[in-house]
Chains A and B, each alone.
Chain A
Amino acid sequence: MSDRVLLDYGSGGKASQRLIREIFLKHLGNPGLNRLDDAALIEDLSGPLAVSTDTFTIFPLFFPGGDIGSLAVHGTVNDVAMLGAQPKYLSCAFLLEEGLDMQDLDRIAASMGRAAADCGVQVITGDTKVVPKGAADKMFINTTGIGMVIADPAPSGSRAEPGDAVLISGTMGDHGLAILTHRQGLKFETDIQSDSQALNSLTTRLIREVGDVHVLRDPTRGGLATTLNEIASQSGCEILLQEDQVPVRREVQGGCSFLGLDPLYLANEGKFICILPEDLASKALEVMRSHPAGRDAALIGYVREGQKGRVVLRTSLGGHRLLDMLEGEQLPRIC
């Protein structure tokens, strides 16, 4: 194999076969994928199913705490899990730029394989395309996940009700700030790591042990503030968020003050919001805190009648203000 990705590898011919065998089957192989048929055969899923698709493009491909491969697994597994489902299978499509370092591709496929094994899913169908240099930025990955829904009824962003408590599974802003600082070459006292991780084993436990979960949602792009606004709007209620209860790592807080960013708007890749009746909150927190993915879980707010679709922040000083959705990207300030 060449040490760079060539256009030949996307031709569908012998070169493509070599790439599939020596990279993808090596790291992602399983009986389903190894059949190499035109489509994957699924025989063991029944009842309500959850399906989600996501495309991953990130610069840099490798970042503290993960890479595009692990992110492509975690992102889709988590989206399926947020419907109260057990993710089982993934499809995976690679769009590669001609000239990509083959070792990078190998590392990324290996990382996907490890991530998939860790969260108990299998990649059962895939696709590879190679585009001429300059037509894509190194590598894009699309994954689609499917799983069986175990919650009844399934959690939904439209099911938040007045009287519900709002929980978060851990610290906010780690991923967003890790990517930004790594990209800009900024260093802080402690290295900030992305929180990219799978959440399905924790959400499964929550559903089995706590029961009536109204909303599960992972606050990825746009952060906690934007996701809470989506929920308030879908559910037609108001959410009150308590600033001093939101867990934020000291180094993330410091980095944000320095750069003029707000951790409530930064992306997370391994955290989820859980909204459920207030009387179940302490049980849910107990389950979350006993799991490695929810150690820093906290009760951060409440759902109330109020003004439909609005999120109100009670600040640490005790003042109240609107917590709006993010408008476009956060841009560094000048003064």
Chain B
Amino acid sequence: MNLSSEFRDPDLCRRVLEQIQHLADSPFRFMEVCGTHTVSIFQSGIKSLLPENISHLSGPGCPVCVTHDLEVNTFLALAKMDLRLATFGDLMRVPGSRGDSLKKVQAEGARVDIVYSAFDALQLAVDNPSENVVFLAVGFETTAPTVAATVKVALKQQVENFFILPMHKLVPPALQALASDPDIRVDGLLLPGHVSTITGIEPFMFLAGDYNLPAVISGFEPLDILQSIQILLRMHKEKTPAVINSYKRAVADQGNPRARKVMQEVFKPVDTAWRGLGDIPGSGLSLRKEYLGFDARRKFEPAPLQPETNTGCKCGQVLKGKILPPQCPLFASVCTPAEPVGPCMVSTEGSCAAFFKYSL
């Protein structure tokens, strides 16, 4: 296999691992808040190489996993109306309250197109002027700016059959909720590299300032992750918590102000509910007044089923890092990637799916 990339070099990785082993003389719990980190930690085998007293928790970092039941039921209700849904592939198998999913309703006749970007969805609307196209707008700060840019283009080009269902979530408010939760005991955070390319480092500074939590913005290759863990450990040991950007080859400290500007022009922050974490102030995005014409909720008024409150799924506790996936009674028995109960098992970047797929 091609290991030429220095960020995958086994020798360099082993050297950092040795340093981590040297530093880890007391128990240390870190949490990563990005699903891509989760997968990389499992896939590269880092999980099996870390010293035993370092424990690793997967936080709420996968946009599919934190999409609330009510939002899932809303897009499933839309799917049954006379319109065409455009979605990222990840949402196809997410189960709604009655076990429905986009894959299932598609087999029953709903029109669902998998797209790679919001622009593809807009193009679908332009190419099919007689149909209404609704784009399912999920994702964090990484995705929201391109959706915002698409909506601006749609307005400029007066595309009248294109709509979005805004379900975006913002990462810093969720971290604020986690950090202030007395039940959650974490000694350091691995911050999401992709999200940080947009936000920059500033929105995360409160972690060290207000909560004494060391945090590192990390890339996704094995060496990136190991180095970030090493930095976290050192800060923890020396009791010098700070927020550090160790992914400078992709993340500018100030982030991407242009992308943020587009996002802020089109969207405004609102309170929203996260699966498992509940309502978090200012953590969602809704369309501003001048773009409300693109809001699929207003246009089509879908009537979603009310979510069932008692499925037995413990995704919420998994997302908060309170339990590990195998501690959920449904894990691997009732809930599997083939028949997922909760979204942490659906998304390939969900922590339950990663445990199921990679753990020995």
Contacts and interface: CB of A to CB of B under 8 A. Distances in A.
B359 A315 contact: no
Contact of B90 (A184, A312, A333): A333
Interface in B1-24: 1-4, 8, 10, 13-14, 17
Given A321-B48, A322-B358, A253 B1 contact: yes
Contact of B88 (A246, A249, A334): A334
Interface string A235-250: 0000000011111111
Q: Chain A binding site: helix, strand, loop or mixed by DSSP? A: loop
Nearest to A184: B116
29 contacts: A246-B1, A249-B2, A250-B4, A253-B1, A263-B1, A313-B45, A316-B10, A317-B10, A317-B44, A318-B45, A319-B44, A321-B42, A321-B45, A321-B359, A322-B359, A324-B357, A327-B337, A328-B93, A331-B89, A331-B90, A332-B89, A333-B348, A334-B138, A334-B143, A335-B34, A335-B62, A335-B139, A335-B142, A335-B194
Interface residues of B, number: 46
Interface string A219-257: 000000000000000000000000111111110011000
B349 A333 contact: yes
B358 A324 contact: yes
Contacts of A335: 34-36, 62-63, 139-140, 142-143, 194, 349
Contacts of B349: 333, 335
A233 to B, nearest CB: 16
Contact of B3 (A316, A328, A331, A332): A316
B194 to A, nearest CB: 6
Interface string A276-298: 00000000000000000000000
Interface of B: 1-4, 8, 10, 13-14, 17, 34-36, 42-49, 62-64, 88-90, 92-93, 114, 116, 138-140, 142-143, 194, 222, 337-338, 348-349, 356-360
B198 to A, nearest CB: 11
Contact of A332 (B10, B34, B88, B337): B88
B90 A320 contact: no
| Of listed B14, B143, B348, residue having the most chain A CB within 10 A | B348
| Of listed A248, A320, A324, A327, residue having the most chain B CB within 10 A | A327
Contact of A319 (B35, B45, B140, B348): B45
A320 B1 CA distance: 16
Contacts of A248: 1-2
Contacts of A333: 36, 88-90, 348-349
Given A315-B44, A317-B13, A332 B359 contact: no
Given A315-B44, A320-B48, A334-B138, 8 more contacts: A249-B2, A262-B43, A314-B45, A318-B49, A319-B45, A321-B43, A321-B47, A324-B357
A255 B337 CA distance: 25
A247 B45 CA distance: 19
B141 to A, nearest CB: 10
B110 to A, nearest CB: 18
A334 B63 contact: yes
B1 A316 contact: yes
Contacts of A322: 357-360
A262 B357 CA distance: 13
A304 to B, nearest CB: 14
Contacts of A332: 88-89, 114, 116
Contacts of B116: 184, 332
| Of listed A249, A254, A313, A321, residue having the most chain B CB within 10 A | A321
Given A253-B1, A327-B337, A316 B63 contact: no
A328 B101 CA distance: 14
Contacts of B359: 321-322
A316 B2 CA distance: 10
B8 A316 contact: yes
Contacts of A324: 356-358
A312 B45 contact: no
Given A321-B359, A324-B357, A331 B46 contact: no
Contacts of A263: 1
B360 A312 contact: yes
Nearest to B48: A319
A250 B10 CA distance: 17
B14 A243 contact: no
A41 B47 CA distance: 60
B222 A317 contact: yes
B188 to A, nearest CB: 21
B46 A247 contact: no
A135 B143 CA distance: 38
Nearest to A300: B1
A243 B348 contact: no
Nearest to B87: A334
Given A333-B348, A335-B142, A318 B10 contact: yes
A146 to B, nearest CB: 36
Contact of A247 (B1, B10, B49): B1
Contacts of B338: 327-328
B3 A250 contact: no
| Of listed A247, A248, A322, residue having the most chain B CB within 10 A | A322
